[in-house]
Amino acid sequence: MSITSEIENTAKNLIENSASQKLGLPVTDKFNTSDGKPTRTNIEFTVQHEGYWFGVHADQEGGFAVFRIHAILGQLPFTFQSSFARTSIMAVVRGVCKHLKARFKTDEHQRIILIHEVRAKGILHPKIILTETTKVLLQLKPYLQLITALQPPRQATDTQPDVQMEDYAVEKPSTE
């Protein structure tokens, strides 16, 4: 199994679980040994922000902590339903992706899936995990508020996706 395929499987699991199952970040976990080496090299949790659930997968890769953040930012209305809402939401999502250097895809059910990766120098530690996740969520806040104004998020049972991540393997940021 390639690294890309592993990332896609992890992303798929995080997205599928974020709407139906909440994964907490245990505060009692021991992240580092007494000499500073990480005890865990992979951490997954979910967090809710502005009504949207985000799946976060953190890995240790060499001297970097790598965070993959995935979220479903709602369902894109079809043009015949509301061309204004569709155009406006797409403009906001493109703005998010440009600002964060993230990617997005829409699936066959018109759900907007955000895929973002952050690399931070250092080892996985609660301070880095919370800092980097919070930075991304705060950068997303105005965009999420705009998307919510255009189309409020649905309940968790309405947004549980049936996502095949091989459909979302992209080499470079998408503009659609």
- The pLDDT, as a whole number, for residue 124 is 82
> For the whole model, what pTM was predicted?
0.67
Determine, yes or no, domain membership for 34. no
Say how far apart CA 94 and CA 4 lie, in whole Å: 24
Say how far apart CA 73 and CA 171 lie, in whole Å: 21
Determine, yes or no, domain membership for 75. yes
The fraction of the chain above a pLDDT of 70, given in percent, is: 63
For the chain, what is the domain count? 1
CATH code (residue 86)? 3.30.1460
12 lies in which domain range? Answer: 3-18+41-154
- The pLDDT, as a whole number, for residue 142 is 92
Distances (CA, A) of 162 to 88, 110, 159, 165: 25, 12, 9, 10
Determine, yes or no, domain membership for 29. no
Other CB atoms within 10 Å distance of the CB of residue 131: 13
Determine, yes or no, domain membership for 171. no
Could you say which residues of the chain have pLDDT below 50? 1-4, 28, 156-172
Determine, yes or no, domain membership for 103. yes
pLDDT tens sequence across 4-46: 455 555 555 555 555 555 555 555 455 556 666 656 677 888 8
Determine, yes or no, domain membership for 77. yes
Query: Chain centroid to CA 5: how far?
Result: 17
To the nearest whole number, what is the mean pLDDT of the chain? 75
Say how far apart CA 84 and CA 21 lie, in whole Å: 33
Strands, E, within 64-162: which ranges? 64-75, 103-106, 111-121
Determine, yes or no, domain membership for 163. no
Cβ contact 100:70 at 8 Å: no
Full strand arrangement of the beta sheet holding 111-121: 42-49, 52-61, 64-75, 111-121, 103-106
Determine, yes or no, domain membership for 175. no
